[in-house]
Structure 1
Amino acid sequence: MKLFLPVLLLFTFFRVQAQFAVVEDKDGYVNVRRDPGTSAPVIGRIQSGDVVFLTDQKNGWQYVDCYINHKNTTGYIHPSRLKAVDKFTSAHRVVHSADSVFFRLGNLQVGIRETSFVAKKNRIRYRKTEAGRMVDKINDRSFWGTDGYLPASQYQHITCFWEGKEVAVPDSAINDVFNPNLHMTTVLYDKGTKRWYIAATNSDGAGGYEVIWVFEQGEYKQRFVYYGF
């Protein structure tokens, strides 16, 4: 039993890294197809640099969760157009407490802090269901991290420093993703593109989700959130 928790954490550490992949194509985009194969209908395009979530493979093609025109969808991409996030260099976790974690890799520093969610400090909208009253919106936004109940915790801030300069992370990047798991968070750096990624497997059970933030050459770029199953 003493080995169970370390083994579980090691498994989830590699799981966070391995399930994301970055689209890389010399044309600047990749086609997403309805079925595996070049003759299958194209359902949309994804730009190079976007991040998809890997699920199964079929006939040599990768089935992915992705965003097309800002809508979450699924389809097939040839693996030659994808680069797994676990190919990048992992930043070192140098500090980890109950509510914060700090990573360092060369000129890159990343600090993440969580705090308790306080309902009275937020606008909560409910909806009626057969199971009772459930949370529908938080601060007028859809949210991730619970299955209709109030969150227990939230991100307080994500702070990045790149080559001595602070990189601004907007509130909109973190204020609708709840119940963070700091022990299941990694920071990865791609030297070739000077991009870094903060990836996390958050919450649990029906509220579980995967989130990855993308930064490039000292600027915050975008965020992708997937259910992960």
Structure 2
Amino acid sequence: MKRIIYFLLILNFNFCFSQFGIVNDLDGFVNVRNSTKIGNNITDKLENGFIVYYFEPEGNWINIDYKKNGKELNGYIYKDRIKYITDFKNLTLKSNLGGKATLENGSIIVEIIETKFIKENHKLKFYKNEKTQLEKIDDKQVFGIDGNIPKREYKSINIEIDEIEIDLPNIALKNLYEPTLYNSKASYDENNDILYIFSSNSDGAGSYEIIWVIEKKKYKYRIEAYGF
């Protein structure tokens, strides 16, 4: 029993620690290394504000995954060179009913709506050697499933900041399946007018993390990361 409790505590710690953050260094950038040993092992440089997904602390270091120039990369940086997304002004999940989650904080409101996945409205591609295993949907990589047909997908994300309405474009929601609305979160960087909306989603096997970035009242981009 003690071993089981210890194992669950370790899992819970890693889960809580793993999240999105932004590079925040007094030098304006941080060096990425391929190990936690100081030496000739710098592999990349990331500017302040660059979003990473970080996990597995090792002393003063954290392991990060990130996307740059279309490539998925990994490395180590000092953990005090990261600012947690959740350190900004957080929105509260006010309701989660009928497939709609609402988050609010003062003049900022975010509505996230899911809908039933209708396979007839999509192009499904299965693996050649495994006809029951789904490979792509609408010729895109899929998130949230592990070879099965999705049951749910995002329908819309509607935002209001200081009475200015912002709707995320359809491309921001494509190929993201099995949303877990009660995991929906949002944080607002007031100094730079940047809203981050993020969530941990899964059908039980195909877990992933997603973050959308809305800067100066305009949708900028999204980043996906596979869950742990």
Same fold (TM over 0.5): yes
Cα distance between partner residues in 2 of 1:69 and 1:42: 18
Cα distance between partner residues in 1 of 2:147 and 2:72: 20
Q: TM-score, normalised by structure 2?
A: 0.86
Structure 1 residue runs of 4+, over 6 Å off?
A: none
8 Å contact kept, 2:63–2:75: yes
Q: Does 1:214 align with 2:226?
A: no
Q: Does 1:93 align with 2:93?
A: yes
SS at match of 1:35: coil
Q: TM-score, normalised by structure 1?
A: 0.85
Aligned length: 216
Distance 1:168 1:29, change over 3 A: farther
Further displaced range: 140-149 or 84-93: 84-93
CA shift, 1:17, in A, is 8.4
8 Å contact kept, 1:17–1:186: no
Q: Does 1:31 align with 2:53?
A: no
CA shift, 1:132, in A, is 4.3
Q: Which amino acid aligns with 2:147?
A: G
Sequence identity (%): 30
Write out per-residue CA displacement over residues 15-56 of structure 1, whole angstroms, 9 at most, x where no aligned residue.
578622111235544322111244242222333222211111
Cα distance between partner residues in 2 of 1:57 and 1:17: 8
8 Å contact kept, 1:63–1:76: yes
Task: Please list every run of 5 or more consecutive structure 2 residues that lacks an aligned counterpart in the other structure.
Answer: 1-11
Partner in structure 2 of residue 62 of structure 1: 62
CA RMSD of aligned residues (A): 2.2
8 Å contact kept, 2:18–2:55: no
Partner in structure 2 of residue 21 of structure 1: 21
Report matched runs for 1:45-194 at 5 Å. Answer: 45-129=45-129, 132-194=131-193
Distance 1:18 1:207, change over 3 A: closer
SS at match of 2:45: strand
Task: Please list every run of 5 or more consecutive structure 1 residues that lacks an aligned counterpart in the other structure.
Answer: 1-11
Distance 1:64 1:214, change over 3 A: same
